[in-house]
Amino acid sequence: MPAEINSGNTAWVLAAAALVMLMTPALGFFYGGLTRNKNVLGTIMHSFVVVGLVSVEWVLIGYTLAFGSDVGGFIGDLSWFGLRGVGLEPGPYGTAIPHEAFMIFQAMFAIITPALITGAFAERAKFSTFIVFMLAWSLLVYDPVAHWIWGSGGWLFELGALDFAGGTAIHVNSGAAALAAAFMFGRRLGYDEEPMEPHNTTYVLLGAALLWFGWFGFNAGSAGAANGQAANAFVVTNTAAASAALVWMGMSWVFTGKASAVGAAAGAVAGLVAITPASGFVQPMESIVIGGVAGVLCFLAVRLISRSRLDDSLDVVGVHGVGGIWGALATGLFAVAAVGGVDGLFHGEGSQVLKQFAAIGAVGGYSFFVTLGLLKVLDVVLGLRVNEEEERLGLDITQHGERAYGFAQPGGTPVGSQFGNAGIRAGSAAPAEGVWLAERRW
């Protein structure tokens, strides 16, 4: 018998959907602050436009591919194409909310996932190709993966892999895609040779604060009801973010002698990423550990990547990829039946870790190779990057014909990408007051 609609649950899920929607523009500010001032508008525009693109794609076909009746464990059918049959009746999976409320909540996850990838190719993407890539990636990667993990009949769902709010479906997925994108787009002009300092750290902190705020809807809203599991998800989300922010700031303090504000912001995001899959399955004390370990792992991953030849501009791989992998594994370690009905390794169910590994490997591998193939095709057909002259002038002017600031001039300051160490790299410019040089200081 279908569940009856509960007005309190409906109100909470709609409010949570609004919170998650805010996260994508917040991501734009977070990413925009980390770029040079000649690219900030274009970077924010990437996140803003994705809201429009994926909102329409989701209504037309994305929702039915992700949550429609199962076809072979891989994809949903077209029974809900154009939201046909999706109305005011109770939603699927026994939720006591209107079907449209369930659909629009899930739409916000579909929106932010491709937006996360944009940090890997910031400051060099051709806007026309970017639009095609975002739509194609949503159809070919996000929608099938969401069905695998959350769709009734999806093969990872049936396997019993746990992902309460998107650690695998969103963060491992976008992190693997970001790795492929960083390979395909190549390094920015002047990378490791000329300054590339974040132009507005206040934007970074603003974006991180709004992401933290929106993440309560992301995780607690995934309970689908105003209940105890939602309350627990809210508490562990805040706790893990706080733990990771403090740990990352402490790591940067130890390594550089300075307590970096941007490092604290990056740490908070890493903690939010890691707790996402576990938020409906673990208790508050475990969330301190999950967040703290995320702070260490993501900090070290960003430092390691910054020493490679890979130009992951805004450290999507180090934060979302590594944080998502750790969070998915941590779910298999710390899950407790008293919260989410499933035990993990530390509560006597070791097989759950193997299921988590299977989900990480399947989603990461699929996302990486499909993204790589898609970008290779787009590079041949449309071209991925702007030309050298346009890249030097900046995306704001060349792709949008506008400046973020009327008084700003194209340019920036030091080397590397955005989250890590200090010290002057050989051959870099002489230090300027108030500016860190070389790799990453936080």
- Contact between 248 and 295 (Cβ < 8 Å): yes
pLDDT tens, per residue, the chain with 442 residues: 456 899 999 999 999 999 999 999 999 999 999 999 999 999 999 999 999 999 999 999 999 999 999 999 999 999 999 999 999 999 888 889 999 999 999 999 999 999 999 999 999 999 999 999 999 999 999 999 999 999 999 999 999 999 999 999 999 999 999 999 999 999 999 998 888 889 999 999 999 999 999 999 999 999 999 999 999 999 999 999 999 999 999 999 999 999 999 999 999 999 999 999 999 999 999 999 999 999 999 999 999 998 998 999 999 999 999 999 999 999 999 999 999 999 999 999 999 999 999 999 999 999 999 999 999 999 999 999 999 999 999 999 999 999 999 754 444 443 334 444 332 222 333 333 233 223 343 4
| Beta bridge mates, 75 | 71
- Do the beta carbons of residue 276 and residue 219 sit within 8 Å? yes
The CATH number of whichever domain residue 75 belongs to comes to: 1.10.3430.10
Residue 419 lies in a domain: no
174 and 113 Cβ atoms separated by less than 8 Å:
yes
146 falls within a domain: yes
Residues 6+ apart with CB under 8 A from 19: 213, 214, 215, 216, 217, 218, 221
Q: Collapsing DSSP states into helix, strand and coil, what is residue 419? A: coil
Q: Which domain holds residue 294?
A: 14-388
Q: Are 189 and 412 in contact (CB under 8 A)?
A: no
Q: What is the DSSP string of 170-227?
A: IIIHHHHHHHHHHHHH-PPTTTTTS----S-HHHHHHHHHHHHHHHHHHHHGGGSSSS
Number of domains in the chain: 1
Residue 429 lies in a domain: no
In-domain check, residue 438: no
Distance CA(267)–CA(251), nearest Å, equals 10
Q: What is the DSSP string of 86-118?
A: -SSSB-STT-SSBHHHHHHHHHHHHHHHHHHHG
DSSP classification of residue 12: H
Contact call for residues 283 and 339 (beta carbons, < 8 A): yes
Predicted pLDDT of residue 3: 67
Task: Work out the angle at residue 359's Cα, subtended by the Cα atoms of residues 12 and 295, and round it to the nearest 5 degrees.
Answer: 70
Distance CA 320, CA 130 (A): 20
How is residue 318 written in tokens? 């180090």
Alpha-carbon distance of 110 to 356, in angstroms, equals: 21
H helices of 118-152, where? Answer: 127-137, 143-150
Is position 428 within any domain?
no
Burial class (CB in 10 A: 0-12, 13-18, 19+), 173: buried
Residue 27 pLDDT: 98
Contacts of 95 (CB under 8 A, 6+ apart): 3, 9, 102, 224, 225
What's the pLDDT score for residue 416?
39
Q: Alpha-carbon distance 22 to 10, whole Å? A: 19
Cα–Cα dist 36/200, whole Å:
8
Is 431 part of a structural domain of the chain? no
Task: Say how far apart CA 384 and CA 392 lie, in whole Å.
Answer: 16
Residue 296 lies inside a defined structural domain of this protein: yes
* Percent of residues in the chain assigned helix, strand, coil, to nearest 5: 65, 0, 35
* Short-list 358, 400, 412, CA closest to 43: 400
In a domain, 421, yes or no: no
pLDDT tens-digit series, residues 432-441: 323 322 334 3
Query: Could you tell me the pTM of the whole model?
Result: 0.91
Q: How far apart are CA 190 and CA 397, in angstroms?
A: 19
pLDDT for 406 equals 77
**Whose CA is closest to 220, among 368, 20, 428?**
20
CB atoms within 10 A of CB 189: 14
Q: How many CB atoms sit inside 10 A of residue 368's CB?
A: 21
- Closest among 265, 236, 238, 235 to 249, alpha carbons compared: 265
CB 438 within 8 A of CB 425: yes
Cα maximum dimension of the chain: 72
SS3 125: strand
Buried b (16+ CB within 10 A) or exposed e, 258-272: eebbbbbbbbbbbbb
